[in-house]
Amino acid sequence: MTEGATASDSPFIKGRNARVYGKTRESCPYPEGSEDRTAWLQAWDEAGTDDQGGNTAEIDKGTVDTV
């Protein structure tokens, strides 16, 4: 991350937010082959896992063991 940048400036967070707010995958603003594009697309894909019935086992939902 560049000096003065915040976590919300990261391509990963921007990709997640894009999915949450209804942007298309094709709207990724980063150039083909860049690390930023890879991060943005990964986050965009992961943000859609829950609403598409995907594997959510990796997400910590704060479950409590039953006795």
Tell me the domain boundaries of the chain: 9-50
Region 7-28 average pLDDT: 95
Residue type, 42: Q
Contact 15, 47 (CB under 8 A): yes
pLDDT tens digits, residue range 33-65?
Answer: 999 999 999 999 999 886 555 544 344 444 455
Q: Which of 9, 50, 47, 51 is nearest to 30 (CA)?
A: 9
* pLDDT tops 50 at residue 24: yes
